[in-house]
Structure 1
């Protein structure tokens, strides 16, 4: 039971605000020592001398970490994880080029005369930013700064406006190139390109579901998403379409370069991330926002975010090692394989509910590196397709950015929203979009063949 107590101790420390990487490392060392002491005690090591038995137990616990340098070295040699800093750098560079602003302004005017048009354009821009940058915080902040004041000015319902922006900004979690999918590819030991290919249609279905919801709301309650009057200063419709295409084509070209090279088998995700970095710098030159200072700032931000991810990964590696050593994996395996009903569906339903609930409190990186490695061997034992299971988890983890009270997207938006927008309005606004995500997750779980995915391996 030491592993189970360790798990809930780490969860409690995360909830009260301890830094993630240090929490995992400290809890691992502490419970590793306890496990060593308990083992020596069980073999009678304390019968002759308490201090001698305690010293022998501590030595046994420390010996458990002898292989940690090899684990860290294997992480450093993992070429899949090299894509993370490069995709982060690509996203930050594109953020600094003003890509989001250009897309939102052009598409907002293009769809503004349609009831709910600004909200629809926000979703479309969110999907384009997801496929070109994948940086959730940057997407939410950019759309919050530009799109939210426009929607509030034209009397959009505050809950609908804030919910649309938060949900659109989190599309980068499921639409490739997604950092979540790269991490899950490493955890599941499956090709990241396979996850990227499998995630495209579920991501597009989610975008379509958001747009359909906005259209229904705008039709049923006309005052919630009114049309914006035409602006003569923007020129005729053909000029607006031309301006929108000029804004969209560069980002689409980058998407084709990055994802197209992966899907066509020309490049691996790691190689395509390097292509994406060059493409982002090319767009910065085209938009006349390139400078050495900009590149330096983007590189520093990328290093900070990447260091956070790898710090968590090293702490999580120590955590999973101690968890396995103390028998925690065996307890979880026995519990998961003895759930009532069909064992495969019992496992899927329970894990999806557990990840959904944990997403209310902890971040996707912690879930990916602590919870998912425990589940992978059980999924393999049950014959579940790892690609399908990984996409289900990725779709589920997307909700962790939206779920109150600790969803990061909620904080990102509240930080740039006008003072008139209350936190409770942001919370209420995301609830319908969380429900939409759960519905799409259910469709992906029950009908994976619609997306070209085989759920169970033969």
Structure 2
């Protein structure tokens, strides 16, 4: 059968199965298996299982359940309350201070957890009521939580980065380093926007009343609340970047440190066990979902590799004389549009086997392209009508706030994410400088 026809039938089948709400893992897996049978006949049974077994026993993938476990633990530990208390005391007197503090907490949470939903839901429960109580404009309060929560994509240790790096044969350590400067840049853009708007219109995000402000002694005492989060961040990122541990080993260390933090916070072995049990149950469910999607993707990727699809696309691009930057922009648009209706993992599974070899053939750096993908997913997760962060927010906002209110609140932050994407495209060294300096 003609390779082009097989590819068209594959993507048509994927779209149909998604429309009828077939689970992603079974969609990609079944389409891949049928296509392999059409190409190779029964011989595909000798090719596919060994490939899946080899990939699924990779030590890299072992980091995924541990990072998810850390996220589930901290979501239930109440550590965010302590950080917010410190931020409230230090930044509360500043116009927009609570919103700025919320973005900073999201950065800290992202560096501890590595998953997007945890920071969004946690700050929606803690920071949103505090801001609304102090007459912050609803759109700014919701927008800063939604935008800050999405930083979990870009700031390491991001589970999305781990999956992307493992499927594109990139170093996870390099991927983590590459995300630091763009992540800090985007957080800085959020903070600058909030501060500027609050200074221009103090009624938008007023400082807390004088009678609620903390003394200097209370402020300095509250700094101790950062001790446990930074110990956890150092136990993960410090061991990776210093070369003391691989990302998988660092994830294991981080899981142990997270359990110790829960024990210190609960001051009860029984309560600690209860939190660990609930977090283990939740992380087992999430990990199973991720790994089944990866298995389905491996079957799909096998077809792409068998057909040599990236080379076919490269020949097509050369034949029509398309500029490589035009191809890059088309890829970015496809990521953005897919991200509005699909989760990040299925998009990685579908596009990485095709796009990464192609951009390498076109002469682009795959590490830089990976960070562009991550920024794009972050933007798509925030974009109406189907951005996933919007639905996380809807689950925690007060009943009087509608989905339309949430949609309107995120547009300034989407604009800032688009600006960050453009800056990273125009200045690749924002991504590549730090990994080159560290020598990874």
| TM-score normalised by structure 2 residue count | 0.92
**Stretch deviating more after TM superposition (439-448 or 13-22):** 13-22
Q: 1:62 to 1:407 in 2, by over 3 A?
A: farther
Which one of 244, 248, 256 corresponds to residue 226 of structure 2? 248
How much does 1:332 deviate? 3.2
Distance 1:359 1:165 in 2: 19
Preserved CA contact (<8 Å) 1:339 1:346: no
Change in 2 beyond 3 A, CA 1:436/1:16: farther
Contact kept, 8 Å, 2:310 with 2:358, in 1: the verdict is no
CA contact (8 A) 1:91 1:135 kept: yes
Deviation string, structure 1 residues 171-216 (Cα, Å, up to 9, x no partner) = 1111000111111111221210011111111110111000001111
Q: Indicate if the aligned counterparts of 1:4 and 1:328 stay in contact, CA closer than 8 A.
A: no
Instruction: Kindly indicate whether residue 275 of structure 2 is the aligned counterpart of residue 275 of structure 1.
Output: no
Structure 1 residue aligned with 2:6: 2
Asked if structure 2 preserves the Cα contact closer than 8 Å seen for 1:15 and 1:362, the reply is no
Structural mapping, 1:204-353, within 5 Å = 204-232=184-212, 235-243=214-222, 245-288=223-266, 291-325=272-306, 328-337=309-318, 342-343=323-324, 345-353=325-333
1:11 aligns with 2:11: no
Partner of 2:30: 26
Q: Are 2:161 and 1:181 equivalent residues in the alignment?
A: yes
- In the alignment, the residues of structure 1 paired with residue 319 and residue 330 of structure 2 have an alpha-carbon distance, to the nearest angstrom, of 12
Q: Which of residues 427, 434, 444 in structure 1 aligns to 2:414?
A: 434
For 1:62 and 1:158, the matched residues in 2 are separated by 59
* Number of equivalenced pairs: 429
1:388–1:453 CA contact under 8 A, matched in 2 = no
User: 1:165 maps to which residue?
Assistant: 145
User: Which structure 1 residue ranges, 4+ long, deviate > 3 Å from structure 2?
Assistant: 29-33, 60-63, 323-342, 450-455
CA distance in 1, matches of 2:88, 2:22: 41
CA distance in 2, matches of 1:436, 1:148: 21
Structure 2, unaligned runs of 5 or more: 436-440
Question: 2:166 and 2:334 mapped to 1: Cα distance?
Answer: 21
- Give me the TM-score of the superposition, normalised by structure 1: 0.88
C-alpha contact (below 8 Å) 1:92/1:135 kept by paired residues: no
Q: Structure 2: how far apart are the matches of 1:426 and 1:339?
A: 43
Over 3 Å counting, the alpha-carbon distance change for 1:316 and 1:270 in structure 2 is: same
Matches within 5 A, 1:84-99: 84-99=64-79
Partner SS state of residue 275, structure 1: helix
- The Cα shift of 1:323 comes to 3.8
Q: Is the 8 A contact 2:142 2:410 kept in 1?
A: yes
Q: Does 1:148 align with 2:128?
A: yes
In the TM superposition, what whole-angstrom CA distance separates every residue of 1:305-353 from its partner, at most 9, and x where no partner exists? 111111111111111223444565454333455575542x223222111
SS of equivalent residue, structure 1 residue 277: helix
Report which of the two structures shows the higher radius of gyration computed on alpha carbons. 1
Aligned counterpart, 1:57: none
Q: Distance in 2 between matches of 1:213 and 1:337?
A: 42
State the distance in 2 between where 1:428 and 1:97 align.
Answer: 32
1:376 aligns with 2:340: no
Are the aligned partners of 2:112 and 2:232 in contact in 1 as well (CA < 8 Å)?
Answer: yes
Structure 1 residues 454 and 212, CA gap change in structure 2 (3 angstroms): closer
Aligned-CA RMSD value: 2.2
Q: Which runs of 5+ in 1 are unaligned?
A: 37-59
